[in-house]
Structure 1
Amino acid sequence: MKIWHQSLTSIEDISEYRDAVIQHILKIARPDVDVVLHGMTNDTYPENYPGHYITYNYLQSLHKEQFIRNALIAEKAGYDAVFIGTIPDVGLIEARALVDIPVIGYGQASMHMASMLGSKIGIVNFLAPLADQLRFNAQQYGLAQKLGPIVQADIGFYDIMEGYKNPQPIIDKFIAAAEIAIAQGADVIIPGEGPMNIFLATHHIHHVGNVPIIDSFGTGIKMCESLVDLQKISGMTVTRVGYYNEKPPTEIVEKLRDYYNLKQAAADMDFGLSVRATASV
């Protein structure tokens, strides 16, 4: 099985994050699964982390194209699934409508997993402007009533990267924010961004008291594995009914992509970093 992982960061240029993601894949993925890491194109952002380049609706809508194009590339290149590894689920609905392989979103997968493990979902993140989008997405996923507090931790992306050298201050600040969410009624916590999730998983932060912390990255990979298996064994697929889910004719997609000067997808446009777990891990 081969899974295309798509980050909203330029992950190949962020060694601490990239290496931690690789180590987590080695623990979480089945031995027969290749997870191939892909970041945004190198000139997308002026620095390694997107920061405020993803916290405005219009700017994020521009980034959708890379996610959509890469889903098309993944299918042409023989991938079995696509994992959109960012909590805003950038381009999820559009990509899912264009390809026949499973497309899983970090946000949707983690929210549904959290809804099975608790009654009120809390999110602890560090990009405050994303709160509106996360609530909108929860409503689209049918989980608006289960999503409770969204609390910003007093840390940022680069703090987390530095935290790999000295983790305890970051852990303490996350726990402090999680305790605020718990005091406001949350009984299950989603770490709001991928870098925070991977940091916590790396340092084995799985609970705050009796409240579970969702491993969103692990959940997304396992959801990919499960849906690929179910598609092959039981024929389960995404619905093709309705405006958001019906698949448009390929020739029209290609014609309009040409018209808007968007790159066509080809199998040889895959430049990811492959990671495969081993049975001994």
Structure 2
Amino acid sequence: MRIWHQSFTVLDDVPHYRDALRRHLTAAARPGTEVELHGMAPGTYPSSYPGVHIGHLYLTNLHREQFVRAALAAEEQGYDAFFIATLPDTGFEEIRTLVDIPVVAFGNASVAYAATLGTCVGIVNFIAALEPQIRRNMAAYGLGSLVGPIVQVEAEFTDVMAAYDNPGPLVDAFRRAARKAIDAGANVIVPGEGPLNVFLADQGISRVDEVPVIDSLATGLALAETRAEFHRRSGLRPARTGMYFSKPDMAMVRAARKFYFGGDR
């Protein structure tokens, strides 16, 4: 089984994260599953790291095209599933209308799974600008009532990268943020974005006090494997009705993409 993992980062720009991500997903995968890491194109973020871009709607929508292109390539190349490995689930609703292979998204999968362990999901991340997008996404998925407090770790992207060499300060900052979410009613925690998730998994953190902490990336991978297996056995795929699920004629898609992007991509 081959799973296409798609990150919002330029992976070679963040080798600590890339290497930790590879170790983590390789360890989490089932025997026989190959997870292939893919990031954004080199030069995508010429002046600032992804955490700045991801908080602006227009920039996010521009970058979404790379996720769409990747998903189309994944299906064409015979991958068994496509994993959108970013908390705001960039392109998820669009991509699942374009391909028939299973599409799994970090935020959707981790919150849905968290609901099997608790009744109020606290999200702890380090990009404050994401909160409106996360809440809008969860409402669209029908999961909005499950999401309670969204709390920010007192750290930035560079702090998360530095923590691979000096983990203590970030571990303490995460626990403080998680306890704020717990005090506000959360009884299960979803961490995001991916770099924080992988860091916590590397540190063996699966609980804060008596509250479970979801390994969001491992959860998404497990769902991608399960969806791929069911798709192979029975052809299981999403609904194909209405604007948010129906699949357009691909000749029409190719013509529109050629018009906007200058080639049949």
Match of 1:197 in 2: 197
Match of 1:129 in 2: 129
Which amino acid letter does the alignment assign opposite residue 56 of structure 1? H
Contact 2:97 2:246 in 1 (8 A): yes
Distance in 2, matches of 1:100 and 1:85, equals 19
Match of 1:269 in 2: none
Distance in 2, matches of 1:128 and 1:29, equals 31
Question: Are the structure 2 counterparts of residues 214 and 263 from structure 1 closer, same or farther at C-alpha, using a change threshold of 3 Å?
Answer: farther
TM-score of the aligned structures, taking structure 2 as reference length: 0.97
Match of 1:268 in 2: none
Which amino acid letter does the alignment assign opposite residue 44 of structure 1? T
Counterparts of residues 4-83 of structure 1 (less than 5 Å): 4-46=4-46, 49-83=49-83
Q: Secondary structure at the match of 1:16?
A: helix
Q: Secondary structure at the match of 1:148?
A: strand
**Unmatched 5+ stretches in structure 2:** none
Q: Does 1:164 align with 2:156?
A: no
Match of 2:206 in 1: 206
Distance in 2, matches of 1:213 and 1:144, equals 19
Q: Secondary structure at the match of 1:260?
A: helix
Contact 2:255 2:264 in 1 (8 A): no
Distance in 2, matches of 1:21 and 1:5, equals 10
Distance in 1, matches of 2:47 and 2:34, equals 29
Question: Are the structure 2 counterparts of residues 239 and 205 from structure 1 closer, same or farther at C-alpha, using a change threshold of 3 Å?
Answer: same
Which amino acid letter does the alignment assign opposite residue 233 of structure 1? R
Contact 1:9 1:48 in 2 (8 A): no
Which amino acid letter does the alignment assign opposite residue 73 of structure 2? I
CA-based RMSD: 1.1
Distance in 1, matches of 2:12 and 2:31, equals 23
Distance in 1, matches of 2:217 and 2:80, equals 17
Q: Secondary structure at the match of 2:150?
A: strand
Match of 1:270 in 2: none
1:108: Cα distance to partner?
0.3
Distance in 1, matches of 2:85 and 2:217, equals 7
Contact 2:126 2:154 in 1 (8 A): yes
Aligned residues: 265
Which amino acid letter does the alignment assign opposite residue 234 of structure 1? S
Q: What CA deviation, in whole Å up to 9, does each residue of 1:153-201 have, x standing for no partner? A: 1011111111111111110000000000000000000112111000000
Distance in 2, matches of 1:78 and 1:47, equals 35
Distance in 2, matches of 1:139 and 1:110, equals 15
Q: What CA deviation, in whole Å up to 9, does each residue of 1:240-271 have, x standing for no partner? A: 11111111011101111111125534xxxxxx
Q: Secondary structure at the match of 1:133?
A: helix
**Unmatched 5+ stretches in structure 1:** 266-281
Which amino acid letter does the alignment assign opposite residue 69 of structure 1? R
Match of 1:111 in 2: 111
1:13: Cα distance to partner?
2.1
Q: Secondary structure at the match of 1:232?
A: helix
TM-score of the aligned structures, taking structure 1 as reference length: 0.92
Question: Are the structure 2 counterparts of residues 12 and 263 from structure 1 closer, same or farther at C-alpha, using a change threshold of 3 Å?
Answer: farther
Q: What CA deviation, in whole Å up to 9, does each residue of 1:82-140 have, x standing for no partner? A: 00000000001111100010010001001101111110000111110100111101101
Contact 1:69 1:263 in 2 (8 A): no
Match of 1:175 in 2: 175
Structure 1 outlier segments of 4+, above 4 Å = none
Which amino acid letter does the alignment assign opposite residue 2 of structure 2? K
Distance in 1, matches of 2:58 and 2:185, equals 33
Distance in 2, matches of 1:118 and 1:96, equals 28
1:48: Cα distance to partner?
7.3
Which amino acid letter does the alignment assign opposite residue 165 of structure 2? K
Contact 1:155 1:170 in 2 (8 A): yes
Match of 1:186 in 2: 186
Distance in 1, matches of 2:262 and 2:203, equals 41
Which amino acid letter does the alignment assign opposite residue 204 of structure 1? G
